[in-house]
Amino acid sequence: MDGDAKEEIVKLFIEGSGETFGWLEENWDFQFLDNMFAFYDVHGWPLWTMYNDKTMTSKDLAYANSMEMAKAMNEKNDYMTELTATKLFKDDEGNVIGVEAEYYDGTIYQIYADSVIIAAGGYIGSAEMTQKYTGGGLDVDTDMHLLKEDGTPVENVYIVGNDSLGTLNESNKAYVTYGGCAQGWALTSGRLAGANAAAAFAG
C-alpha cells in the first residue's frame, strides 16, 4: 500500500464494514438500500452508502430509534444530548475513570466509567486543524484503543469515527474524499470499540 495509512486499520475497515451493516440491520432500526453506483468514482465501483430507518423515513430516525431500543434493554442504559464533555476524569494515578461534562444549564457532571469511547467527530472536516491538534487523527490500534506517543495503548479509552479517521489516510489528509467511507468507518469503528469495551468489562 502506498502512503502511511495504517494497513491493519484499512484491513479492519474492509473486513468489518459488511458485518457492521448486517449487524445494524439485524439488531437495530437501520435499513440499507441496494447497491448504488457512485457518480464520483471513475471506476464505477458499487458503493453501499444509503440508509434510513426501517420505515425508510430518515437517517435521523434510524439513530434515534436505535438509541431508544438500546435504552430499553437495560434500565442503566442512557444517553444525554446538550451535554458537552470537557475533560477525561482521572484518578490520583492518572488512570482514566470517566468523563467530566457540562450540561446546557451549567450543571457539571462527573460520569464514572470502566471505559470511555471518544466519538467527537474530529474537527468538522478541517484537515488543517486535525493535523495541528492530533497529527492527522488520533492514533489507534486494531482494538480502537487510543495510542500514546510511545505507541502503547490506553487500555480503557477508545477512539472512533472521524477522531481516528487519519489512520486510514496519508499524513496531512485527515478525511477521505470518497463518499460513504467516512460514515462507514464511524459505524464500523464504533461497533468494534463498543464490543471491545463490553468484552473488557465482562472480563
Ligand X SMILES: Cc1cc2nc3c(=O)[nH]c(=O)nc-3n(C[C@H](O)[C@H](O)[C@H](O)COP(=O)(O)OP(=O)(O)OC[C@H]3O[C@@H](n4cnc5c(N)ncnc54)[C@H](O)[C@@H]3O)c2cc1C
Binding site for ligand X (CB under 6 A): 49, 84-85, 119-121, 161-162, 179-184, 186
| Cβ pair 159, 134 in contact under 8 A | no
Measured from the CB atom, the residue of 183 and 196 that comes closer to ligand X is 183
Closest distance to ligand X from the beta carbon of 150 (Å): 25
| Cβ pair 125, 113 in contact under 8 A | no
Closest distance to ligand X from the beta carbon of 99 (Å): 8
Sheet containing strand 83-90, strands side by side: 83-90, 96-103, 108-112
Measured from the CB atom, the residue of 153 and 180 that comes closer to ligand X is 180
Closest distance to ligand X from the beta carbon of 129 (Å): 13
| Cβ pair 88, 99 in contact under 8 A | yes
Measured from the CB atom, the residue of 77 and 84 that comes closer to ligand X is 84
DSSP character for 35?
A: P
Closest distance to ligand X from the beta carbon of 85 (Å): 4
Measured from the CB atom, the residue of 59 and 152 that comes closer to ligand X is 59
- Rounded to 5 degrees, φ, ψ at 46 are -75, 130
Task: Return the residue nearest ligand X (CB atom).
Answer: 161
For 72, other C-beta atoms within 10 Å of its C-beta total: 9
